[in-house]
Amino acid sequence: METPYPIPITPSHTRIGWIGIGIMGSAMAARILDAGYSVVVYARNPSKAQALLAQGAHLASSPQELAERSDVVFSIVGNSQDVRSLVLGPAGVLSGLKPGGVAVDMTSSHPALAREIFTAARAKECWSVDAPVSGADVGAREGRLAIFAGGDGGVVAWLMPLFKIMGKVTHMGDSGCGQSCKIANQITGGANLVGLSEGLVFAERAGLNLGQFLEAIKDGAGGSRVMELFGKKMIEDDFRPTGFVEYIVKDLGMGLDVVEENEEDDRGRVVVLPGAALNKQLFSGMLANGDGKLGIHGVITVIKRLNGKS
């Protein structure tokens, strides 16, 4: 097919490829399988794919082979370098995807890379969409992710049956805009986490009951989705990851890199993000403390250390 538009997506004839079966990706792929789609997966460590294979998925030996067997390929991996290798590499997705096929990258990656992939896909008469997500592991399991899509609006609309299985998608604009939205989301969410951490540390020092504190503020200006997801866990020192802290350090770093790369506009203005810079340092404190594999809400441990508490 020349474009994805003429043939609607249905479980009976749309083949799905999936790359990335970590905390988020495995749950998202499982939902696609539950919806009746044929799914082929690629994993650098095939043993991690056993649960999906038991659910009916098939295994590919390379991203290229996976793409050859797929109409739509999703990827959600660690970082921009992984995306570049898996999608643009010599045995990558675009080397195997047939004309009209679509590569959907759901990794939190660099906007410039998303635009590069889009250009490379169009040169092969394929399409690409950048569609990073937010909502943690519970959102992935329950199909309640926020999905930020960049790319051709018609292709995003065509993909809607698949996106609806995973959550709610918003088309943010051209290629790269989905990734820019995710970075802005991380800047916002990171600030909320740091604020919640400081609020909890202050409340504890003031002698407040922390559970009562969260209940008291949840419907006020201090309440947030971040508090709903992580507040109780932070009180209980439950820092099991729903997403690794090393990823938010990466995302905040990409945001600061984009700001540094951007030139002044015609009025001499540049973007300055002092809060994001400070918060990146605080989250990086977790890495320095050897806590890079903890959840992002573990940033409260850094605030506690700064206050003399282990």
Task: Give CA–CA dist 156/197, Å, rounded.
Answer: 37
Kind plus residue range of the DSSP H or E element containing 102: strand 102-105
End-to-end CA distance of the chain: 60
What's phi and psi for 176, nearest 5 deg?
Answer: 95, -20
182 is catalytic: yes
Query: Taking the CA atoms of the chain, what radius of gyration do you get in angstroms?
Result: 20
Task: Give CA–CA dist 74/67, Å, rounded.
Answer: 10
Task: Give CA–CA dist 22/178, Å, rounded.
Answer: 21
**Marked catalytic residue, from 182, 232, 250, 293:** 182
Chain centroid offset of residue 81 CA: 15
CA distances from 42 to 48, 61, 75, 84 (A): 10, 7, 10, 16
Tokens of 74: 């999703």
Q: What is the DSSP string of 40-109?
A: EEE-SSGGGGHHHHHTT-EE-SSHHHHHHT-SEEEE--SSHHHHIIIIISTTSHHHHPPTT-EEEE-S--
Please list the active-site residues. 182
